[in-house]
């Protein structure tokens, strides 16, 4: 029978903390867009050193070799992907552009709202909600980008389809033109043949007439000096 070792209070606290982290990270599992700062649960103003320290401290708590909780490996992969995302100059640059855009939009909105609140003598918006507002704006911008990319793909597909349709139409018109040309040539050749046959018949009739025109008459004179004319005799 397998013996169960009782966990110390410190171990219980460590596992509970790890489970909270794992459960939180798994909420990003089915999200296509990566917000690495949100995954690492760190401020958008964090430096590279702060990002590294946050990643290492979190990784130690949920690393599958040190944490025996289910899905620890899956949660660790999500955490590691977020850190690698920020470690890559290209992906970080692209994300920082989106972040800059989000901050600018949020600041404009907050300024307008604070002006209205000041007129009504209400307290200004708290700064501790700023990251959440930026995070929400990032999601909105990402959705806009996805919709724009989808629109561009559909537009590109439509343009290619239109080009294919025009190409097919031109091919069909060229084919019809070639068929009409062949039909005309066939009709012309037929007319030439008919004309040649007509000329041949006309020539034969003319030749026959000319031959008949050269035919001669037989005349006979009897003893009483009477002349008898016979029908024309063709030489044919």
Fold of 11-165: Helix Hairpins (1.10.287)
Taking the model in full, what pTM does it have?
0.60
Q: How far apart are CA 61 and CA 79, in angstroms?
A: 11
Instruction: Identify the weakest region by mean pLDDT among 70-79, 113-122, 206-215.
Output: 206-215
In three-state form (DSSP H/G/I as H, E/B as E, the rest C), the secondary structure along the chain is CCCCCCCCHHHHHHHHHHHHHHHHHHCCCCCCCCCHHHHHCCCCCCCHHHHHHHHHHHHHHHCCCCCCCCCHHHHHHHHHHHHHHHHCHHHHHHHHHHHHHHHHHHHHHHHHHHHHHHHCCCCCCCHHHHHHHHHHHHHHHHHHHHHHHHHHHHHHHHHHHHHHHHHHHHHHHHHHHHHHHHHHHHHHHHHHHHHHHHHHHHHHHHHHHHHHHCCECCEEECCCCCEEECCCECCC
Domain locations along the chain: 11-165, 173-229
Which whole number is the average pLDDT over 32-37?
87
**47, 36 in Cβ contact below 8 A?**
no
- The tens digit of pLDDT for each residue in 147-166 reads 887 878 877 787 788 788 88
Which whole number is the average pLDDT over 129-147?
90
**99, 134 in Cβ contact below 8 A?**
yes
Which whole number is the average pLDDT over 228-235?
52
């Amino acid at each position: 029978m397998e013996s169960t070792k009782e966990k110390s209070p410190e171990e219980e606290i460590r596992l509970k903390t790890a489970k909270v982290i794992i459960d939180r990270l798994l909420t990003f599992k089915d999200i296509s867009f990566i917000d690495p700062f949100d995954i690492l649960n760190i401020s958008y103003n964090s430096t590279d050193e702060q990002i590294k320290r946050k990643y290492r401290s979190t990784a130690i708590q949920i690393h599958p070799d040190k944490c025996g909780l289910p899905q620890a490996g899956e949660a660790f992969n999500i955490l590691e992907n977020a850190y690698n995302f920020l470690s890559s100059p290209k992906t970080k640059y692209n994300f920082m552009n989106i972040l800059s855009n989000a901050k600018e939009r949020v600041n404009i909105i907050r300024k307008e709202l604070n002006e209205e609140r000041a007129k009504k003598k209400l307290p200004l918006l708290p700064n501790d909600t700023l990251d959440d507002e930026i995070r929400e704006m990032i999601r909105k911008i990402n959705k806009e980008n996805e919709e724009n990319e989808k629109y561009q793909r559909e537009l590109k597909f439509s343009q290619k389809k239109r080009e294919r349709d025009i190409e097919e139409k031109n091919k069909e018109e060229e084919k019809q033109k070639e068929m009409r040309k062949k039909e005309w040539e066939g009709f012309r050749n037929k007319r030439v043949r008919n004309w040649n046959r007509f000329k041949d018949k006309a020539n034969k009739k003319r030749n026959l007439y000319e031959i008949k025109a050269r035919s001669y008459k037989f005349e006979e004179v009897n003893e009483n000096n009477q002349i008898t004319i016979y029908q024309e005799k063709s030489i044919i």
